[in-house]
Amino acid sequence: MTMYKRTSGSTKATMRRSILEDMRSSRSARLRKGEDMRPVPAHAGYYVTSHGRVFSTKQGELRELRPHHEAGKAPRVAFRAGGAAQNYTVVRLVVDVFLGPHHGRAIILRNGDAGDHALSNLRYATPADRGISERVLGERRALLSTCLHEGEDVLPISNNDGYYITSHGRVFSLKRATVRELLPDYGYGQAPRLTFSDGNVTSRYIVARLMASVFLGPRRGRLVIHLNGNTNDNMLSNLRYGTRAELVIIAVAIPTVCYGEAHHLAKLNPKKVRNVRRLLARGDSHRAVAERYGVTSQAIGAVDRGRSWRRVIS
pLDDT of 287: 93
146 falls in which pLDDT band (50, 70, 90)?
A: confident
The residue among 195 and 257 whose pLDDT is bigger is 195
Residue 311 belongs to a domain: no
Question: Within the chain, how many helices (H) and strands (E) appear?
Answer: 8, 16
- Asked if residue 214 and residue 180 are part of one domain, the reply reads yes
- Which structural domain, as residue segments, surrounds residue 199? 149-253
Single-letter code of the amino acid located at 249: I
Q: Tell me: pLDDT of 147 over 70.
A: yes
Secondary structure (DSSP) of 119-144:
GGGEEE--GGGGT--HHHHHHHHHHH
SS3 at position 33 = coil
φ, ψ (nearest 5 deg) of residue 256: -120, 5
Residue 41 belongs to a domain: yes
Q: Tell me: pLDDT of 191 over 50.
A: yes
Residue 207 belongs to a domain: yes
Q: 124, 140, 160: which is the final residue of a domain? A: 124
SS3 at position 74 = coil
pTM over 0.85: no
Could you give the angle at which helices 270-282 and 297-305 cross, rounded to 10 degrees?
80
Residue 314 belongs to a domain: no
b/e map 152-165, b = 16+ CB within 10 Å: bebebbbbbbbbbb
Find the DSSP H helices in 55-133: 90-98
- Asked if residue 275 and residue 243 are part of one domain, the reply reads no
Residue 108 belongs to a domain: yes
Beta bridge partners of 198: 201
- Asked if residue 154 and residue 247 are part of one domain, the reply reads yes
- Asked if residue 120 and residue 16 are part of one domain, the reply reads yes
CATH number at residue 205: 3.90.75.20
- Asked if residue 265 and residue 240 are part of one domain, the reply reads no
- Asked if residue 291 and residue 224 are part of one domain, the reply reads no
- Asked if residue 248 and residue 266 are part of one domain, the reply reads no
The mean per-residue pLDDT over the stretch 82-106 comes to: 82
Residue 129 belongs to a domain: no
- Write down the mean pLDDT value for the chain: 80
**Is the Cβ–Cβ distance between 68 and 79 less than 8 Å?**
no
Task: Kindly list the distances between the CA atom of residue 284 and the CA atoms of 100, 114, 302, 308, in Å, as whole numbers in the listed order.
Answer: 66, 65, 15, 19
- Asked if residue 264 and residue 249 are part of one domain, the reply reads no
Residue length of the chain = 314
Q: Tell me: pLDDT of 132 over 60.
A: no
- Asked if residue 217 and residue 181 are part of one domain, the reply reads yes
Residue 113 belongs to a domain: yes
Q: 232, 253, 274: which is the final residue of a domain? A: 253
pLDDT of 4: 46
pLDDT of 232: 87
19 falls in which pLDDT band (50, 70, 90)?
A: low
pLDDT of 1: 45
pLDDT of 28: 42
SS3 at position 248 = helix
7 falls in which pLDDT band (50, 70, 90)?
A: very low
Terminal CA-CA length for the chain: 59
Element (H, E) at 88: strand 84-89
Distance CA 114, CA 158 (A): 17
The residue among 28 and 293 whose pLDDT is bigger is 293
Residue 181, CB-side half-sphere exposure with 13 Å CA sphere: 11
Q: List all residues 6 or more positions away from 289 whose beta carbon is below 8 Å from its beta carbon.
A: 276, 279, 280, 300
Q: Tell me: pLDDT of 119 over 60.
A: yes
Percentage of the chain exceeding pLDDT 90: 20
- Asked if residue 236 and residue 181 are part of one domain, the reply reads yes
Q: Tell me: pLDDT of 27 over 50.
A: no
Lowest-pLDDT range, 6-10, 108-112, 170-174, 306-310?
A: 6-10
Q: For the chain, what is the domain count?
A: 3
Distance CA 65, CA 78 (A): 8
Helix, strand, coil percentages (3-state) for the chain, rounded to 5, are 30, 20, 50
- Asked if residue 227 and residue 202 are part of one domain, the reply reads yes
Residue 140 belongs to a domain: no
Per residue in 215-227, pLDDT (tens digit) is: 888 888 889 998 8
Q: 107, 124, 141: which is the final residue of a domain? A: 124
- Asked if residue 288 and residue 271 are part of one domain, the reply reads yes
